[in-house]
Amino acid sequence: MPLSRRDFVHRSALTGAGIALAGAVDVLATAPGALAAGAPAGRGDDHGHPHGHCPELGYGPLIADPAGLLALPAGFTYRVVTRTGTTTLESGGTTPSNHDGTAAFAGERGATLLVNNHEIGGPLTAAAHPVPHVPGLVYDPAAAGGCTVVEVPRHWRGDEDGRGGGHAEPVTEWVGIAGTATNCAGGATPWGTWLTCEETEDRAGSNGMTKDHGYVFEVDPHDRHANRDPEPIKALGRYAHEAVVVDPRRGHLYLTEDASGPNGLLYRWTPPHGFQHGRGRLAALGDTDGVLQAFRCFDSVGRFVDDLSRATKIGTRYGVDWVDVPDRDARTASVRKQFTDGEVTRARKLEGMWWADGGTYVVSSFARGESPVQHDGAVWFYDPARRTLTLKVLLGVNTAPEQDGSFDGPDNITVSPYGGLIIAEDGAGVQHLFGALDDGRTYPLARNELNIGSEAEPEYSEFTGVTFSPDGDTLFANIQTPGIMLAVTGPWRRQAAGR
């Protein structure tokens, strides 16, 4: 039964400020300098740093990499899986650039299959390392983006010294889809495929394109034939897609939009009556099948919430309504511009998503002058059973991003089999992979040491595509520029909450 605003207000009045939070990740950590005092009293100083020695937190300090690529804790090693312009594809040529969203699937004989987005916008003719246009796998012959599939054998060891000094034994990589644009994030499906999302609204005739873009496409890592003659899933709308997750119980799809002017929206697609999910079934839908809606939040006393940045305290919980999208293909106006400011709730940089704990984690990467309140990252949890959205992580504005130690700009995320979240940074300055636990603490897991700027003005690319192998032994992640996929292994252990 849908949760009405009246039900939510009544329930909130009964529970007051002490609303119990459900799920395996209750109240996730604030970073140093966080806006919110989310950690329990006595657990940290005024900047969010934990007091005293916490040997169970994380894996220890990061150790500089002699090869200048990836700093990791003691005992951890990395291997380069693919690298733009260096590793080769089955079809010829080298690995495309701009590695982004990635998901891992169990392959045959213990192999891991990784579907890797390549966030390449603009025309094919302008791209230095586009996704190759393999016959039969191309949507728009003018577009440079797409995704590849990487097969990592079960006993692959790659770069033996783990620090970039050796020669990685080759893995197998092939094109999953080509001729799409700005393939940013996406999401894995319960039936073993990947939904790749275009973060653009380019139309045919603009930016060199010959077809409309801003869609979701399905890629099957197991069945190459299923990827032939790709067509967009227009029922999911045309806008600057970021990520998508599937509710395996109810069949809904939730989708984020990374856009501004005005800020983007969180969407829900409800399948038509009698629809059964499975491989290739989304692509068979009609353009307007199902119902696409945008979210509308209200607080514990029933007041409309115009922007998620209004929440400045971890544990803030909103009720959620859903409002029908008038024109999902955005024929005359972008979807987010089809609503007045009082109709829907907006948020800046709605990015990564991950389904776990009976709901979906949703990232808002940062908020600046285009939002009511500034922050440097937030992670929310949407509970579809309760129709509630709860703030789990809130990062304060990082005033010194060039200095190591603070975190900002969360983007891609995954739920760790060892507890909490692993988050990829896409902020300013130093870039990390970091963990967030459920007791008000964060910890560093990796630091990008590949300077693509200059010694005087160093620059470090964002991390993307963070995901664990199906067995949980290997964490895969990408450095977007120049485009490097990494496999990280080490003494993983359960990250116990300090309560």
pLDDT at 412: 97
The two tokens of residue 79 are 């291997």
Q: Residue 389 forms beta bridges with which residues?
A: 318, 382
Question: If you average pLDDT over residues 441-455, what whole number do you get?
Answer: 94
- Does the pLDDT at position 165 exceed 60? no
pLDDT tens figures, 376-400: 999 999 999 999 999 999 998 988 8
Strand 145-152, strand 172-180: pairing: antiparallel
Residue 316 CA to residue 410 CA, distance in Å, equals: 19
Determine whether 183 is exposed, middle or buried from the number of CB atoms within 10 Å of its CB (0-12, 13-18, 19+): buried
Residue 398 near residue 40, CB atoms below 8 Å: no
Q: Confidence band (pLDDT; 50, 70, 90) for 33? A: very low
pLDDT at 380: 96
- Does the pLDDT at position 157 exceed 50? yes
- Would you say how long the chain is, in residues? 499
Residue 454 CA to residue 432 CA, distance in Å, equals: 19
Other beta carbons within 10 Å of 232 = 21
As a whole-number percent, the residues of the chain with pLDDT over 70 amount to: 85
Cα 180 to Cα 36, 130, 132, 197, 329: the distances in Å are 40, 10, 11, 9, 17
Instruction: Say whether pTM exceeds 0.85.
Output: yes
The two tokens of residue 94 are 């080298």
Give the residue among 312, 382, 370 at the shortest CA–CA distance from 341: 370
Residue 242 CA to residue 212 CA, distance in Å, equals: 17
pLDDT tens figures, 212-260: 999 999 999 999 999 999 999 999 999 999 999 999 999 999 999 999 9
The two tokens of residue 391 are 């703030």
CB hemisphere CA count around 122 (13 angstroms): 8
> What residue ranges define each of the domains in the chain, with the CATH number in brackets?
69-489 (2.120.10.30)
- Does the pLDDT at position 21 exceed 80? no
Q: Confidence band (pLDDT; 50, 70, 90) for 441? A: confident
Round the average pLDDT of the chain to a whole number and report it. Answer: 88
Residue 411 near residue 426, CB atoms below 8 Å: yes
pLDDT tens figures, 365-375: 999 999 999 99
Q: Is 34 helix (H, G, I), strand (E, B) or coil?
A: coil
- Does the pLDDT at position 189 exceed 50? yes
- Does the pLDDT at position 499 exceed 90? no
Q: Is 439 left (phi over 0), alpha (psi -120 to 50) or beta?
A: alpha
The two tokens of residue 201 are 């609204």
- Does the pLDDT at position 34 exceed 60? no
Residue 91 CA to residue 174 CA, distance in Å, equals: 7
Strand ranges across the sheet with 421-425: 62-63, 70-73, 442-448, 432-436, 421-425, 410-415
Q: Confidence band (pLDDT; 50, 70, 90) for 7? A: low
Residue 132 CA to residue 33 CA, distance in Å, equals: 44
Question: If you average pLDDT over residues 161-175, what whole number do you get?
Answer: 62
pLDDT at 440: 57
Q: Confidence band (pLDDT; 50, 70, 90) for 286? A: very high
Cα 87 to Cα 24, 82, 84: the distances in Å are 39, 6, 7
Report CA 325 to chain centroid distance, whole Å.
23
Q: Confidence band (pLDDT; 50, 70, 90) for 496? A: confident
DSSP secondary structure string, 251-314? --EEEEE--TTTTB-EEEEEPPTT----TTTTTTS-TT-SEEEEEEEE-TTS-EESBGGG--ST
Range of 14-18, 158-162, 402-406, 467-471 with top mean pLDDT: 467-471
Give the residue among 105, 101, 84 at the shortest CA–CA distance from 93: 84
CA-CA-CA-CA dihedral for 222, 140, 351, 289, to nearest 10: -80
Q: Confidence band (pLDDT; 50, 70, 90) for 439? A: low
Question: If you average pLDDT over residues 473-496, what whole number do you get?
Answer: 96
As a whole-number percent, the residues of the chain with pLDDT over 90 amount to: 80
pLDDT at 15: 38
